[in-house]
Amino acid sequence: MSYLDIANSTPLYLVVGVILLFIAALCVVFIVKSWRAGIAIGMDRKVLRKAVTKSATFTLLPSLSILLGVIALAGSLGVPVAWLRLSVIGNLQYEATVAEMAAENMGVALDSSILTPDHLVTILAVMTFGIIWGCLLSIFTMKKYSSKVAIGKKSSGSGGGFASIAMTAMMIGLCSTFVGSYLSQAIRTTTFVPFLTALIASIFMAILDTLAKKSRLQVLDSFSLALSMLAGMAGSVFLTMGGIR
């Protein structure tokens, strides 16, 4: 069996399917409990139906970004692994970065044509080990942490406190790391496509964000990430077709 035959094998699909079915069933349980809780406190059924409809509608297009992530990872890690990691926990930036780092440290590229089953197991172990701590720590520390966050919000007022500033700083640092690597590739004339793709996606994100804030198109705020990713991917395809490397 080839690498991709193993990565897309039926046993993996069955394992992932069982996990995702359990999570889907858990979501249904919470929906039912939330509906009953709303009825119990006297909420109008029309209001509840409207909330459910809006939530479902606003989930569809943003979920395209997750689907795009599954497609991006499936080529190297197989569909079941990509499906599981982006459906339950994790995001494309983390999963792709860690998988690539693990592959590079084994002396290979994240390319299904040269990877072996041993590489796949190692990559999955590294990805899991790196992200599992949030789940485990939440079980034992989230209650105490939540109480401190509530106290911090009361004391900091509307400023958001240190946590909000730290999260913003970390996101800016993460984006700067990626953009910096793309810019260095463009300066060395290795390849221009990653930098131009990031630039196109950023421009679309800025336009959508401006429209969402300065017009009555607030609904764009929920769809801006997916639309920007689609614009970046389309731009990358056209750039490559145009002969830009």
Averaged in consecutive runs of 10 residues, what is the pLDDT profile of the chain (245 residues)? 86 93 92 93 88 75 74 86 83 80 87 85 88 85 77 56 77 82 83 88 89 75 76 87 82
- Of 156, 189, 216, which one is at a domain's C-terminal end? 156
**Is the same domain home to 148 and 186?**
no
Q: Which of 131, 156, 181 is the last residue of a domain?
A: 156
Are both 176 and 196 inside the same structural domain? yes
Same domain, 144 and 168: no
Q: What is the pLDDT of residues 4-33, one digit of tens each?
A: 888 899 999 999 999 999 999 998 999 999
pTM confidence score: 0.64
The count of domains in the chain is 2
**Tokens describing residue 43:** 């909420």
What residue numbers bound the domain in which 95 lies? 1-156
Residues 13 and 46 in one domain: yes
Q: Are residues 135 and 168 in the same domain?
A: no
Q: What is the pLDDT of residue 154?
A: 57
The predicted pLDDT at position 166 comes to: 81
Q: H helices of the chain, where?
A: 3-7, 10-40, 45-60, 63-77, 79-88, 92-105, 117-156, 161-187, 193-214, 220-241
Residues 4 and 120 in one domain: yes
Domain boundary among 121, 156, 191: 156
Identify whether residues 21 and 122 lie together within a single domain: yes
Q: Which pLDDT belongs to residue 57?
A: 67
Question: Is residue 31 a contact partner of residue 56, using CB atoms and an 8 Å limit?
Answer: no
Tell me, yes or no, whether 139 and 70 share the same domain.
Answer: yes
Residue 192 shares a structural domain with residue 104: no
120 and 94 assigned to the same domain: yes
Q: Are 17 and 41 in a shared domain?
A: yes
> Is there a contact between 124 and 95 (Cβ–Cβ < 8 Å)?
no
- Residue 111, C-beta contacts closer than 8 angstroms, at least 6 positions apart: 76
Shared domain check, 139 and 206: no
